[in-house]
Amino acid sequence: MSISSLKIYNANIITPNRVINNGTLIVENGKIKLISEVSIDYKTEQEIDAKGNFLSPGFIDIHVHGGAGHDFMDNTIEAYLEIAKLHARYGTTSFTPTTLSCENEDLLKTLELYEQAEKENTAGAEFIGMHIEGPYFSMKERGAQDPRFIRNPDAKEYEDIVKRSSIIKRWSAAPELEGAIEFGRFLKSKGILPAIAHTDAIYEEVLAAYEIGYSHVTHFYSCMSTVSRRNAYRYAGVVESAYLLDGLTVEIIADGIHLPPPLLKLVYKIKGPDKIALVTDAMRAAGMPPGESILGGLKNGLKVLVEDGVAKLPDRSAFAGSVATTDQLVRNMINLAEVPLTDAIKMMTATPAKIMGVDDKKGSLVEGKDADIVLFDEQINILYTIVGGKVIYNSHHHQ
């Protein structure tokens, strides 16, 4: 049921600059009405006693493929709604559904379903635009992307796709490919974020791409070049470029497995919380028991094995996707990377909101912004998830 006003009191409220102890937050008509450092008498239709737990902006996951046994490439409305529901249980209040390299007709179908599912999505995390991952990638750094679909940017193709859909907000590609610079320029002109991914670029190629608008690096360290030697000379790769170019933002899969703790610490030390977004990059096995699963759509996806908290290729030679949820990412940054809680939250809220251009409405607990809020305990166990002022998950009802 829709509540038009809500009061949350006795909360440790994480605001952009500090934690307010024992604060009160009032929600009216889906927006944050006010935040108070003292307990206030304010009549609302619903009240939640936070019992001294942490109140934070809702988590924003800007790279997710699936969960609860579904993938966006399954091309069903049910997949969209169930994935949104599953991730909301772990604190995600908004996210960007993400595709994989595929046939064009499958991609167009996925985009079409997004618009339909958006209308029906009342019990899950909110969609904030689509992220297309591929197919313009480096064959060498394709990772678990299907080699049958990998190709160079094709203007006729991508212009047609963008023309048909207004919900594409980000597109990941390898900037060194022939036609990738024109592609980036085109995306930028349409208000779509060009991101660097699955790439074997050297610094000079990254710089050229950065200058025309490729400002973000998709799953940093995964499927990208580092220092290499060509004819005895050394070249800096994408990893070094992201460190050198202060303006580049990066996202990391902080599941504790894709990147071990020393790398999590290194990224944090060099880039800092204002330039890092935590992402799950979760596939369909997120929230499911370990065992066999499929990466990508049911129709022509890849068989994978989920064990040790990660998806692997069946021969265990490489990772093939993450099964993380956003609460884990925050927990890992605190426990494994030894980052302060407020910075871990920033990388899960304000920074991703800024990268996706929704920071005017989301990503921080500030009066006037959307009431996307999560309440959790010291171990980052999610107690309540609130989207647009509506409680969509309450741990007491799900025990």
The dihedral sign for the CA sequence 271, 233, 204, 280: negative
**pLDDT of res. 233:** 97
Q: How many CA atoms lie within 13 A of 236 on its CB side?
A: 13
The 10 Å Cβ neighbour count of residue 263 is 16
Catalytic residue among 106, 146, 200, 281: 281
**pLDDT of res. 196:** 98
Q: What angle do CA 272, 220, 234 make, to 5 degrees?
A: 100
**pLDDT of res. 1:** 44
Confirm if 259 and 271 have CB atoms less than 8 A apart: no
**pLDDT of res. 2:** 54
Confirm if 192 and 130 have CB atoms less than 8 A apart: no
Residues 64-82 pLDDT 10s:
999 999 999 999 999 999 9
Say which residues have a Cβ less than 8 Å from residue 345's Cβ, sequence separation at least 6: 14, 56, 57, 330
Give the global pTM: 0.98
**pLDDT of res. 398:** 67
Low-confidence ranges of the chain (pLDDT < 50): 1
Domains and CATH numbers, the chain: 5-56+365-398 (2.30.40.10), 59-355 (3.20.20.140)
Which pairing describes strands 59-64 and 92-97: parallel, antiparallel, or unpaired? parallel
**pLDDT of res. 299:** 87
The answer to whether 360 is a known catalytic residue is: no
The dihedral sign for the CA sequence 218, 222, 223, 228: positive
Identity at 348, one-letter amino acid code: M
Pick from 168, 213, 206: nearest CA to 186: 213
